[in-house]
Amino acid sequence: MNKKLIAVFSLFLAFTAFGQTKKLTLEDGVLQQYRAFRADNVLGFQWIPNTNNYIFFENFGQKVMVASTSNTKATELVSISDLNKALGTSFRGFFGIEWKDANTFILSEGTKFYEYNVATKSGKQIAELPEVAENQTFDNNKENIAFTEKNNLFFINKNNQKVAVTNESNEGIVSGQTYARSEFGIHNGIFWSPNANFLAFYQKDETKVADYPLLDINETPGKLQNIKYPMIGQESEKPRVGIYNLATAKTVFITPKGNVDDYLTNLSWTPDEKYILIAEVNRGQNDMSLHLYDAKTGAFVRTLLNEKNSKWVEPEHPAFFPNSKSNNFIWISEKYGFNNLYYYSIEGKLIKQLTQNKFVTTGIIGANPSGTEIYFSATGPNPTNMLAYKVDLKGKQTLLTKEEGVHNFSVSNDGNWFFDEFSNHTTPSKSLLLDKNLKAKVLVESKNKYADYQMGTSEIKTIKAGDGTTDLYTRLIKPSNFDPSKKYPVMVYVYGGPHAQMITNSYLDGANLWMYWMAEQGYLVFTVDNRGSENRGLAFENVIHAKLGIAEMEDQLKGVEYLKSLPYVDGNRLAVHGWSYGGFMTTSLMLRKPDTFKVGVAGGPVTDWKFYEVMYGERYMDTPAENQQGFDEASTLNYVKNLKGKLLLIHGTSDDVVVMQQNFALVKKFIEAEKQVDFFPYPMHKHNVTGKDRVHLMRKVLDYIIENNK
């Protein structure tokens, strides 16, 4: 090789090396995972109603682009500047648009709502709600919009008239909002009937629920803000379901058939608007009945099905009606261990168990126009995946997503086309358009946005749980300059509670980007999804019932055992960090297994379950009257004398989920036991510290671990 070629080749190597030596900052790790490092995808994908056209956003929401299944080359439909010129508005982007028909979409600016016609390139303001309006909900035809003002429910009709549905002067009677602290899959409190002839809504009576004080330090003097917080074993909300008839302007109410504080949840309308279906769960959460009610009178018609379990029954999905001309419905149940689909008649007769999978169904995506095929999401045999399937009414099941990973799946109006966007361990993001034969066209495939950065590697493995038989998934992140001949300290990141899964077959394997920053500081970062966590089935999850922390700690210690078996792990330099349930796990491990971890950082921890709320807490622990031994055993307050390592406790002072009393009670016990711990508050933050303050939080957490785990 001549000298000139050698020089050019050396220069190429130098540029290549330089290009891969950018270093992540902690600010990058906390704030930029879904911003600067967000994978390229089809942003804001939506099918346009009654067409095979679809839209998405470009230039960070500055343009709406349109394409079709027959021609995927996108063209500009409307720009934000053209929209603002037509409407006389000052929108900054298109996020949150809803289609009214094939030519018209609706979007809002504050409490003002506008519609825009893409064919005529014109639009108008269609409604203006009061400034205090919340929970805005359009009917299916986008003509009426319901909303709440404080504790009452209203709607603006298609004639732009404001109609009061409730007029309660008692602020403890709350209508149209989510209730039961958003458990049981509840995400809203307003339910329009299919043709908007009725408006159903949740109403909760929380007058006897205890007030819990939060301090607003932004006032001089500080101002008390009371929230309603029903603690385990104490007075809870009393629910009703109201049904407002738009023709008669009258409301009928449905109350629980059992006790007044049972739960009414998973509300759905039949397609013909004659009935509503409501799941009633007893307060003990071990007995659920799906009831049918007459929409006009509120009268009970019949019980469609009943499920009991000695530990808990937790319906999370309303009845799904695959055919708009039939009242037959699909119900999702895990009564035999895993969520599966069951097809029922409106008389309550089981027509067919459609799926019999030994893995978890997570939700129904939709149905084809004839209602003969139902599309649903499920983990598949590998629970770190999220896949899409279809099943017909005879029970024939088909996997629609051929590549493993975490998929976001959408079905076209005619059921002949599918949009599939996914990532996995090796794929940052891939967006596909599939025809009915599952032949795929790639719309977007993202490059690796981390390619120029020093980034470590992640590996997913399995270990055996504390029971010796159950497989648990682990994730181990190593630094980019990993040397197997060295000994590394480890930070264990833990959550460990129900309804959460830390390890997924997605890009970065479900990890937070700051974990990769931590690895570059010379750490291994380890996580195990213990028994009790999500997407593994009922038996895997309910082993924790009435004894929170026991199986979870057993499994975390199996993770520690695995770590110590690795020749490159320094078993004397282990740290643990978690938030919320992970905070409970962190304090439990530091106090009940005091020789395991040298350092712990617990954020927003549950320290004693008697301070937690009714709905979640009583499902997993029952009440102190029923399970005092379990509460005593789980309470970290009873183990403060065992502390050996360094412990930092963190809490948002306005936390309305895990209230400050939890942490204060533990600190008080440490003082009484003459044990030194560290405590750091985040004033005016709720359960999660968000925004730029989160950088401060993670620097506090990680610096504490690095400084004390030497």
pLDDT at 7 over 80: no
Q: Which of 19-23, 264-268, 435-439 comes out lowest in average pLDDT?
A: 19-23
Cα dist. 99→51, 82, 114, 336, 432 in Å? 12, 18, 12, 39, 22
Instruction: Check if the beta carbon of residue 577 is closer than 8 Å to that of residue 600.
Output: yes
Interior/surface letters 58-70, b for 16+ CB within 10 angstroms, e for the rest: beebebbbbbebe
Task: Compute the distance between CA of residue 700 and CA of residue 678 in angstroms, rounded to an integer.
Answer: 11
Task: Compute the distance between CA of residue 115 and CA of residue 27 in angstroms, rounded to an integer.
Answer: 39
Tens of pLDDT, residue by residue over 280-302, are: 999 999 999 999 999 999 999 99
Tens of pLDDT, residue by residue over 538-577, are: 999 999 999 999 999 999 999 999 999 999 999 999 999 9
Verdict on whether the full-model pTM lies above 0.85: yes
In the DSSP assignment, the letter for residue 210 is P
pLDDT at 641 (0 to 100): 98
pLDDT at 1 (0 to 100): 44
Cα dist. 434→41, 400, 412, 667 in Å? 16, 9, 10, 56
13 vs 315, higher pLDDT: 315
579 CB-contact burial (10 Å; exposed 0-12 / middle 13-18 / buried 19+) = buried
Angle between helices 614-621 and 624-634 (to 10 degrees): 80
Mean pLDDT (the chain, rounded)? 96
pLDDT at 14 over 50: no
pLDDT at 381 (0 to 100): 98
pLDDT at 174 over 50: yes
313 CB-contact burial (10 Å; exposed 0-12 / middle 13-18 / buried 19+) = buried
Tens of pLDDT, residue by residue over 362-377, are: 999 999 999 999 999 9
pLDDT at 21 (0 to 100): 82
Cα dist. 599→475, 513, 596 in Å? 20, 22, 9
Tens of pLDDT, residue by residue over 93-152, are: 998 899 999 999 999 998 999 999 999 999 999 999 999 999 999 999 999 999 999 999
Task: Compute the distance between CA of residue 388 and CA of residue 376 in angstroms, rounded to an integer.
Answer: 6
**Alpha-carbon dihedral 407, 458, 540, 278, rounded to 10 degrees:** -30
Inter-residue long-range contacts of 690-695, CB under 8 Å, 24+ positions, other chains counted: 692/31, 694/30, 694/31, 695/26, 695/27, 695/30, 695/31
The arithmetic mean of pLDDT across residues 632-653, rounded, is 98
Confidence of residue 20 (pLDDT cuts 50, 70, 90): low
pLDDT at 4 over 60: no
Instruction: Check if the beta carbon of residue 341 is closer than 8 Å to that of residue 350.
Output: no
pLDDT at 229 over 70: yes
Tens of pLDDT, residue by residue over 594-612, are: 999 999 999 999 999 999 9
Active site positions, annotated: 580, 655, 687
What are 612's two structure tokens? 């937690």
Task: Compute the distance between CA of residue 30 and CA of residue 693 in angstroms, rounded to an integer.
Answer: 10
Confidence of residue 252 (pLDDT cuts 50, 70, 90): very high
Tens of pLDDT, residue by residue over 386-426, are: 999 999 999 999 999 999 999 999 999 999 999 999 999 99
Task: Compute the distance between CA of residue 504 and CA of residue 382 in angstroms, rounded to an integer.
Answer: 10
The arithmetic mean of pLDDT across residues 648-664, rounded, is 98
Confidence of residue 450 (pLDDT cuts 50, 70, 90): very high
